[in-house]
Every structure is written in structure tokens, then in C-alpha cells.
Structure 1
Amino acid sequence: MTAMTPPLGGSLDSLPPAFSVAEVGALARQHWGLEGDLVPLTSERDQNHHLRGPGGQFVVKIANLAEGHAVQRMQNGALRHIEARDPALPVPRVIATLDGRDDVVLADGHLVRVLSWLEGVPLHAAAQSPAQSGALARMLARLTRALEGFDDPAAGHVLQWDIKNAAQLLVLLDDIADETARGLCTDVLGRFGRNVAPRLGDMRWQVVHSDLNPHNVLVDPAAPDHVAGILDFGDMVRTPLVCDLAVAAAYRIDRDDPIGSLAGFAAAYHAVNPLTVLEREVYFDLVAARMVTTISIASWRAARYPENAPYILRNFPSARAGLQAIAALNPADVAAALRHACPVKE
């Protein structure tokens, strides 16, 4: 296995907390006055439980010790900022403790939070459609706009999932067992180094969600084109704004129409939160870089933590297929489609 040179972020290089259901229930009862049945939820870095009881439904979250309290509190602040800026956005609400705090720090250092529960079907389990992609892009644009003006010192934390750090993935590529996928990833990172990295400082930066994958989106089961919820703000970070769009677009590639799906997703976002010329120019390479990020980090972590491999590798197949689809595209054709889909006054 490749030696670990770049920082993946301490929480990516450590196991999640392991509290018992009884311990989680006692914490919810003592600090939030909440009673009910608890069901464990999957998570990459933290330990989460769905609590259902007389007081409603909630998510009890115990943070990975390696991440630090500042990052968790930054997420709380962002959720409260969103609630104030766009109350209709379907995102979790921070539930205060009995004494009015947003979190509880245990004697061993673990930080515990409670968020509201959102109803819906996970996007990865729902029927897909172009209309759904457009709705998702517009919802993301609203979320990005709702986060305007929010900042926090912890938003600058290092997280390798953040696409701006894609160049650091080179040392992880040897852990990709699939030779074809490894070659595609090498090519993409070369383009990133030439076309994107030197221009990062010229882009618009802000705090963004940064992880709108199909497991973090809920849709209405009766109307799957309607986005019912956006979950998991655990990868929130300050980065070029267009990275947020690229993350979401990487999971919406139609392999039968990769250019059309890329351009259509960008166009729906652009209609709500217009892109700049530079953002439009780097969008394609950032989408590809996100796929490389998924493939390389998942490969490294799955080998290191085989007991959690099914969860870690859940997005690997779609990322590999998407990367193969866009690798065959002519970048000039993509650029032309994006200029048409996202007109910008130059």
C-alpha cells in the first residue's frame, strides 16, 4: 500500500466513534430530554443514530475525535446561517440542549450534537431523470447563495475531499487496483495541474456544502423529481465556489449523453447563481477531478479499513463509469456546449 504523504484530514485517517446504543440514548435523554428508539446510521467518519420518539425524529451525532470541535461548531453556525437566509431550504436544524447549547463535549473529548430529521427517499435509491438533475442543481445554487456571507476560522481546515487539493492525490494512485481507472486518474490530475491549480486564486471563494452526492440528498417518494432534503454538512469547507457545483455534477453524468448532462446541470445552477467565465472554463476539469478524488481516496481507505469498505466504496462504481464516459470527450466540444448553456457577459 502506498505510504501516506498528503494529509487526508485526521478524521479520514481514523475510525469512527463506537458508543453503544444505550450510551447514545443516555446522552440524548440527559442533555436534550429526548426519549425513543435508536437506529444506527452509516457514516464515514462520525457515529450517527436516528432517534424516533414522542418528541419527534432526530439525528444524534457523535463526532470523530480527530476532527476537532471547531469544525463541528462551524457546521452548526452554517446551518443557523442558512435557516436565517433561506428558511424554506430543506436542511437539518440544530436542536439546542436543555440548557440552550448547540452541543455537548464529553469528558473524553467527544462532541455530541442533535439535528432535526428530514423525511424522504435517498436519491441513490430513487428513479433518475433530467428534471430531477435540474431541480438538484437549482437547489444547490440556492444553498450556495444562502451560505453567502458565512465564514468561520474552521472553514479553512484541510480535507482531501475538497477538490482544490486534488494535486495531492498523486501519491495515492498506486492503491487503485484497476489499471484502467488508475491511468484515467493520472491523466485527469495532469490536466488539473496544468489548467486548474494555477487559477484557483482567481476564483470566487466561500464556504460551501462540498458533498452533494446521491447519499446526501433526499427526494419525495411520490415525486422523485422534487428535492426533499440536503444532508450531511460534514465536508463543509471554504473553497472555490465552483467546486461545490462540480462535486454534485460528478454524480449526475448520463453516460449516454455526457456533454448534455454536464451542460444541463451547469445551466440549471447558472440560472439561479450565475457562473463567471473562469468558473465555466474549469468546471469540466473539476468534475473529472472529483471522480478521481472519489476513486483514489475510497481505494486507499477501503484497503486500510476493510470492515467499513462497503460504505467507503459506495460511490466507486459510478465514479469509475463517469470518469470513463467523460475521458472520451473532446474538451473543446464540452467548452462549446458550456458556453451555449451558461452565457456570460465577457
Structure 2
Amino acid sequence: MFTPSTSASLCTTSAVALDTLLGSSLSVGFSRLNTFDALAITRRVYGIDGAATRFATEKDDTFRIDASDGARYVLKISNPGETPEELDLQVAAMRHVAAVAPDLPVPRVLPGIDGQFVVPVTSPAQPYRTARLYSYLEGMPLDALRGRAVDHYAIGEMLARLQAAMASFRHPHEHRVLAWDVKHLASLTGLQTHIADPSHRAFIAEAFARFAAIEPALRHCPAQVVHNDFNRSNIVANPSGRDFVSGIIDFGDTVHTAVAIDVATAVMNQFPLDFDADGPHDLFADARDLLRGYLAHAELSRDEVLLIPHLAMARVAARALLTSWRAMLFPENEGYILRFTRPGWEHLRWFMQRDPETVSNALL
């Protein structure tokens, strides 16, 4: 039976992980491209003409391309801080899923005129940037839906099916150190200085202590390459269609980590946004529906089920730390970066009002 340890130490990779974080694309700024730039790239690199519409994004340039022949695509221009290895990891993971599970709604990666899937588009004003072109998946972002319109069970089913497809995937860069991989939460301690509210800093300090208690158990959990960002913005939904989930997008956080972390990320992203920790609401009500859907197609040990609520808490804490830091770096994009952080403080307050054993049983 899983029991949080009271004597665990912080992860020994903290310094390495923080150095990697500070040098990653999360900290690299760039000049935003406009729709004219996007169309010039699609004409030159892909031989496609049409119209471009910008999507709101956190760290790259993304456009919908409405081609003259009626087809639709998604054009992504990388952040200058994204390395060739991590971009290849994303593309290879998507192509693997398309090959082994072609029925899964994952975008198809389309080559440029020269046959490359990741195409350099550097210029004196835009060094070290690349283009990728994906098929467009019809539907609406899950974060545009609320309440009964969301089929949480179907989301859990889709996560299990995606994990099954990715279980056989291997890549030389799959073990990269990623700030959004919750197993590295202890590496983010230096970001606490960017949390202004003293009560919020207290929540974060307690979250670190609670994570240290469960971290030894996490090391023994089954692991594989996973999506690692099954959130509201990365799930495309079609509420009136036969299949509720019509798209799984953004493989930018793909990494080899514990399966329980991937499930916990999906669980955390079902927490209600209009939540009051002192109210009668059940923080895990929608998450239990997701877990039931997941377990219809996959297995978790009892220890993993008991660990997942703590990992969901760790993901809330990581989001608070990373987004507060990034909002300081990029104040012009603060609204988008912090869009889920503010309700997250109420989620953390809910966790801190309960003892670890109660949290362990939250999904039962």
C-alpha cells in the first residue's frame, strides 16, 4: 500500500534541471511573426497559398492556414530556444501514433517541398527558427466548453488509447529534462521568489514538502514516452459528433516519464475553474469520470491511483511556479500565460486543507 514518506529528500537532479529550464525555450523571447509572414512561409516552403489566422500561443507562432483549394492546415514556427532534437521528438512521436493507431485523431505531419518535416526558416531578424505543417483537426478547444457539455469519460478513454499507441515509441531524446515533467518539481524551488502573495508562497512551500514525501514511490512507477500535456487547450472536442474528442494536439511536452504523471496531468486539467476551496464542491468529481474512462482501456495499480492526486497537486504547483516566472519574463503575454494559474491557487488551498491520507483517497 502506498504511504507518503516523511523523510524523503529533494530530487538530486535539482541543479541540473533548473539550469536546463533557464536555458530552455520557456525563457527565450522572440519577435512575433504576422499573418503575412506566415503566408510567405507556406508559399515558399510548402507551395500552399491562401489566408492565415493567428492562434493565441505561449511560446511559438501558430497559424491556421486556409488554403485556396479549401484545405486547412496548422503552421507552427518554433521558438528560437527549441532544439532540433526536441522538435524531432515531437514530430517522430506524432508520426509514430499515426502509423500504429491511424484511427486516433492526431494531426498528420506534412513535409515541405524538399521533403523535410522540420524546415529551417531563419532570417537575419528571426534566427534559429523552423516551420512545421500539420493537418487541421475540426472542432473546438475543450477550454471553450463547460459543465455537462464535456464528456470526461471520453477524455479518459482517449488518453488510455494514446498511451497504448505511444508505448512502443522510442527516441534518442525521450529522456530529456523537462520543466513540465512533474518528477522534476524539486528543481523549481528557485522560482518561488516570483510568487508575490505570502499565502501563495506558503502553499508552494507545503507542496514541495508533500512532493518530497511521495517522490520515492514515484521512482518505482511504470514509465514510458507520454504526451504529458493532456490539458483543456490541447484537446479538440466535437460535442455533437459521434466521438466527443476530435483532436489531440501539441506534443511539445512529450517525454519519457511515469504513466501516473500523464494521468495526473489529465486529472488536474479537469478541476473546475470556478472553484471555492471552502465551498461544497468536489474538486475531483469530473476527474473520477475521466479515470473511469481511462481504466476501461488501461490499468493502474492501487498504489498509482493513490499517488495520482498528489501528482495532480504537484502539477498545479509547477504550473503556478512556471507561469508566474514566465509572466514576469513576458508581461505582454501575461493574460494568456496566467489564464489557468489564478484558479489554481484555490485548488492548492483545497489540497492544503486536507491531510495527505485524505488526498491519497481522493479518486477512490
- Whether these two folds match at TM > 0.5 is yes
Tell me how far apart the structure 2 counterparts of residues 10 and 21 of structure 1 sit (CA, whole Å).
26
The equivalent residue for 1:241 is: 259
Query: In the alignment, which residue of structure 1 is the partner of 2:4?
Result: none
How far apart in 2 are the matches of 1:330 and 1:200?
19
**2:147 counterpart SS class:** coil
Instruction: Tell me if the contact between 2:46 and 2:111 (Cα under 8 Å) persists in the aligned partners.
Output: yes
Q: Any idea what the Cα deviations from partners look like across 1:187-227, whole Å, max 9, x if unmatched?
A: 1111111212x233312121111111211112115369812
CA distance in structure 2 between the aligned counterparts of 1:183 and 1:91, rounded to whole angstroms: 40
The one-letter code matched in structure 1 to 2:298 is: N
SS, match of residue 217 in structure 2: helix
1:322 to 337, 344, 347: 347
| Alignment of structure 1 residues 273-292 onto 2, 5 Å | 273-292=298-317
Match of 2:100 among 63, 67, 85: 85
Superposition map of 1:286-325 within 5 A: 286-325=311-350
Code of the residue aligned with 2:328 in structure 1: it is A
Range 322-331 or range 112-121, more displaced:
322-331
Alignment match, 2:73:
58
Distance of aligned partners of 1:201 and 1:306 in 2 relative to their CA distance in 1, 3 Å threshold: same
- The 1:274–1:262 alpha-carbon spacing in structure 2 relative to 1, beyond 3 Å, is same
Which of 188, 191, 194 pairs up with 2:207? 188
**What's the offset of the Cα at 1:263?**
3.7
Partner Cα distance (1:130, 1:322) in 2: 22
The equivalent residue for 1:36 is: 50
* 1:212–1:248 Cα contact (<8 Å) kept: yes
Identical-residue share of aligned pairs (%): 32
Instruction: Give CA-to-partner distance per residue, 1:164-192, whole Å, 9 cap, x none.
Output: 11111222112112222221121111111
User: What SS does the corresponding residue of 1:186 show, helix, strand or coil?
Assistant: helix
* 1:12 aligned onto 2:26: yes
The one-letter code sitting in structure 2 at the alignment partner of 1:199 is: A
Q: 1:318: how far off? A: 2.9
Task: Structure 1: state its 5+ residue gaps.
Answer: 342-346
Q: Which residue of 1 aligns with 2:8?
A: none
Aligned-pair Cα RMSD in Å: 2.2
Tell whether the 8 Å contact from 1:147 to 1:208 is kept in structure 2 after alignment: yes
Q: Which has the higher contact order (CA 8 A, sep 6+)?
A: 2
The farther-off stretch of 327-336 and 231-240 is 327-336
The partner residue of 1:101 within 91, 95, 116 is 116
> CA 1:201 to 1:334, structure 2 compared with 1: closer, same or farther past 3 Å?
closer
Please list the CA deviations of residues 269-294 of structure 1 after superposition, one character each: whole Å capped at 9, or x if unmatched. 22211112332232111000000011
Deviation at 1:231, TM superposition (A): 1.4
**Is 2:166 aligned against 1:147?**
yes
C-alpha separation in 1, matches of 2:350 and 2:102 = 38
SS at match of 1:7: helix
Dislocated runs of 4+, deviation >6 Å: none
- Equivalent in the alignment of 2:152: 133
1:326: Cα distance to partner? 3.1
Structure 2, unmatched stretches of 5+, are: 1-16, 276-280
In 2: Cα distance, 1:5 partner to 1:53 partner = 42
The change in CA–CA distance for 1:131 and 1:117 in structure 2 (over 3 A counts) is closer
1:6–1:169 CA contact under 8 A, matched in 2: no
1:16-66 CA distances to partner (integer Å, 9 max, x unpaired)?
Answer: 453343232122112211111111212222111111022411111111121
User: For the Cα contact (< 8 Å) 2:149–2:239, is it kept in 1?
Assistant: no
Contact 2:310 2:360 in 1 (8 A): no
TM-score, normalised to structure 1's length?
A: 0.89
Matched to 2:283, the amino acid is P
